Amino acid sequence: MFDWLIRNIGKDFINDVYVGIELRVTVGDLYVADPLQEEKFRDYDEFGGFLSVVNSPQGCGFLDTVFVVWSADNDGDPVQGGFVERPTVDPNTGDIVASCRHVSAVELISAPIDLIAGNTVSYNWWDGNFHHFYNFGPRKKGNFREFHTGGLGVPWGDVNKYYVMQNREIDYDPAYITNIRQYDLNWMYPRQDMALDISDGTVLTHLLSVGPFDLAPGNELPIVLAFVMGENFHTNPRNLANIYSGDVDAYYANLDFSDLIKNAQWARWIYDNPGIDTDNDGYAGEFRVCVFDSVLDADSFWEATVAETTWYKGDGVPDWRAAVPPPAPKMWLTPTFKGIHIRFNGQESETTPDIFAKLLDFEGYRIYLARDDRETSYSLLASYDIENYDKYVYNYEKQPQAGWELLDFPMTLEEILCAYADSCNDSLFDVFQYRPSFPYSHPNYPESLFYFVKHEDNVSEFGVTTPITKRFPNASDPRSKPADSITADFYTDDGYLKFFEYEFIIEDIIPTVAYYVSVTAIDFGWPKSGLEPLETSITENAQQVYASVVDPAVGADSLQIVVYPNPYRIDANYRARGFEGLNQDDRWSERVRRIHFANIPPKCTISIFSLDGDLIREIHHDKDPSDPTSRHAEWGLISRNGLRVVSGLYYWVVESDSRTEMGKLVIIF
């Protein structure tokens, strides 16, 4: 997304300002056998056009107003009569080729358009051929202007460019150029040999412009654009034959704009969240009501019985906020002997509604473990997600052909039973007996067909199907209680609601290396709007922790300090074995060496002395006791003078307010 702010920094008024963006998009396959032949498959055979009114992705026959300039390859570059998603070798030429089925676009998201004041949007295109014989762009007869360039296309010079930006035309799409007849009432007649050359794809330049505006000194003009994409735009590898036969409408019938339109909608929603009263003036935008079923009331008026209300437009005040997953849970880590105890509280995760869907879309949690802090290093240890199911409905009007669609939010088992079984407690109703080959048919609406599948893993039985457990399994859900009945018993000692408390124990890990732990929250997405399930970033609440090296059941004094490796041997090759220098490949080996002090007090001073009593290094350790690394410190084998220490025997001393402990360590280089 692009947020432009054009300011008049002069002392004079600037009148009749137009703002535009010129686009020249080349779409093609760059996978070739010889890199020097990069242009070989870029045949300059692009199509494009302008979308102003589209079918809303929300369905129900609603229409959305948009300002979208799109560009795509003319046929999606089929290979051997079909689309190839991944680079492959062309058996005829030996070149590496791939299809380009998708579409790109620029969308005007926001501008101070005031139709009453005469502000409007223009869309123009031209074939940018430098030879005037092929230099052409659509022109309404009433807007004719001689460019004095020998052609009608490229607007050379500022005067011509300004003319095009303010002509208030919405040009027809290039594919329709051969449909313009000699005596067309509106459009100038294109030369037919040139029209045929353009009609099957060419080098196109697009111009999207908006205006006029008047700018007083110091005033600003905000313009917001979005670059959006759409997948699987081309659906028929032989579609270009419709252009050659002159059936442009049939060609467009095989183009799928749905993904592009959906993404364009999300771009508008990110800029201005629908249903959100950003400036608190009482106006939250506009909504639509889609009626699915209705009955005649006593006065012979139709009364809606099944309907859905959906916000589709914001309040006009920018939000710049995208769809986000539920907030990550709060997490606490406690080292145990060769393990880690994980406690987390998901109150915010489970009670924060989605900003777009306006409902609680919490789905579950995932617990990850890693040896370094890179996101790609984390491995999934455990998960929890509520038991719910996706309902696939047969859509007879789905394009390009009828088929199954996922439209609704996931349903709980209770919701399914109450809606489709004999009762809400019907234990004989089997969700999984219905499948595409044997769908559920509604008794009252036999044309309604659907089936169910699990949404995620449905691991929702604490300690049974998931190793995650409730810390307080008997705690009541405060959401179902009156506010005045929520007493102190509902809270933990540190002030968190017990109902949302969970725990998980990691066992049998190496106590002498660092680990990273993360707990994420996931939602169930928004199928109808094409939004996939979202998960909080793995690194958002990640914490470093060391498992305890002391077994309280064995050690009489749990504060007994452990120093390792001792002796430190350079020939032990610690780095190659993963004990030091993880994810620090750019650092010299001398800068990743480590001796560890474990089981130390959270606040203490560590001193390293030579046999002669000289102070080699002093480390001030001061951490909050709740920090999972509060009882662990490291020394990089560097002296207080910044030099690497030498082989030998050293003394270490750990001093705190409550005690002092000392010992020996050996370094062998």
Mean pLDDT of 290-295: 78
Comparing 445 with 511, the larger pLDDT belongs to 511
Looking at the predicted structure, is the pLDDT value of residue 578 above 90?
Answer: no
Point out the domain boundary residue: 546, 572, 603.
Answer: 546
**Same domain, yes or no, for 345 and 487?**
yes
Asked if residue 551 belongs to a domain, the reply is: no
**Strand blocks (E) in 25-62:** 46-55
Which pLDDT band, with edges at 50, 70 and 90, does 399 fall under?
low
Question: Which residue is associated with the tokens 């029209």?
Answer: 195
288 Ramachandran zone, left/alpha/beta (phi>0; psi -120 to 50) = beta
Looking at the predicted structure, is the pLDDT value of residue 558 above 70?
Answer: no
pLDDT of residue 231: 92
**Same domain, yes or no, for 219 and 125?**
yes
Looking at the predicted structure, is the pLDDT value of residue 326 above 80?
Answer: yes
Q: How many domains does the chain have?
A: 5
Mean pLDDT of 352-361: 86
Mean pLDDT of 346-352: 96
Point out the domain boundary residue: 511, 546, 581.
Answer: 546
Looking at the predicted structure, is the pLDDT value of residue 308 above 90?
Answer: no
Which pLDDT band, with edges at 50, 70 and 90, does 132 fall under?
low
CA of 269: how far to CAs of 81, 284, 285, 326, 532, in Å?
39, 13, 11, 18, 16
**Same domain, yes or no, for 21 and 110?**
yes
Asked if residue 166 belongs to a domain, the reply is: yes
Candidates 215, 195, 65; CA nearest to 137 is 195
The CATH number of the domain where 486 resides is what?
Answer: 2.60.40.10
Q: What share of the chain is helix, strand, coil (3-state, %, to 5)?
A: 15, 35, 50
**Same domain, yes or no, for 464 and 595?**
no
pLDDT tens digit sequence for 580-593: 887 787 888 888 99
CB 497 within 8 A of CB 519: no
Asked if residue 556 belongs to a domain, the reply is: no
Structural domain range at position 145? 2-271
Point out the domain boundary residue: 411, 427, 454.
Answer: 454
pLDDT of residue 42: 52
pLDDT tens digit sequence for 266-286: 999 999 999 889 999 999 999
Mean pLDDT of 492-501: 96
Please tell me which of 107-111, 380-384, 654-658 the model is most confident about, judged by mean pLDDT: 380-384
Identify residue 333 by its one-letter amino acid code. L
Looking at the predicted structure, is the pLDDT value of residue 352 above 50?
Answer: yes
pLDDT of residue 84: 83
Asked if residue 554 belongs to a domain, the reply is: no
Asked if residue 557 belongs to a domain, the reply is: no
Q: How far is CA 181 from the centre of its chain?
A: 46
pLDDT of residue 310: 83
Asked if residue 553 belongs to a domain, the reply is: no
**Same domain, yes or no, for 395 and 369?**
no
The CATH number of the domain where 639 resides is what?
Answer: 2.60.40.1930
pLDDT tens digit sequence for 211-239: 999 999 999 999 999 999 999 999 999 99
pLDDT of residue 25: 85
**Same domain, yes or no, for 266 and 343?**
no
**Same domain, yes or no, for 524 and 441?**
no
**Same domain, yes or no, for 73 and 15?**
yes
**Same domain, yes or no, for 622 and 516?**
no
Query: What is the CB-side half-sphere exposure of residue 80 using CA atoms within 13 A?
Result: 13
**Same domain, yes or no, for 449 and 473?**
no
Which pLDDT band, with edges at 50, 70 and 90, does 520 fall under?
very high
Lowest mean pLDDT among 28-42, 399-413, 653-667: 28-42
Lowest mean pLDDT among 37-46, 110-119, 478-487, 518-527: 37-46
pLDDT of residue 527: 81
Which pLDDT band, with edges at 50, 70 and 90, does 304 fall under?
confident
Instruction: Report the percentage of the chain scoring pLDDT > 70.
Output: 94
- Decide: helix, strand or coil at residue 624: coil
pLDDT tens digit sequence for 143-176: 777 777 766 788 888 988 999 999 999 999 999 9
Rounded CA-CA distance 249/483 in Å is 61
**Same domain, yes or no, for 480 and 378?**
yes
Asked if residue 448 belongs to a domain, the reply is: yes
Take residue 259 and report the two structure tokens written for it.
């993904």
**Same domain, yes or no, for 293 and 409?**
no
Q: How many CB atoms lie within 10 A of CB 641?
A: 7
Asked if residue 421 belongs to a domain, the reply is: yes
Which pLDDT band, with edges at 50, 70 and 90, does 131 fall under?
low
Rounded CA-CA distance 594/617 in Å is 13
Looking at the predicted structure, is the pLDDT value of residue 538 above 90?
Answer: yes
Mean pLDDT of 20-45: 67
pLDDT tens digit sequence for 439-458: 999 887 778 899 999 998 99
Which pLDDT band, with edges at 50, 70 and 90, does 113 fall under?
confident
pLDDT tens digit sequence for 466-475: 999 999 999 9
Lowest mean pLDDT among 33-47, 90-104, 477-491, 531-545: 33-47
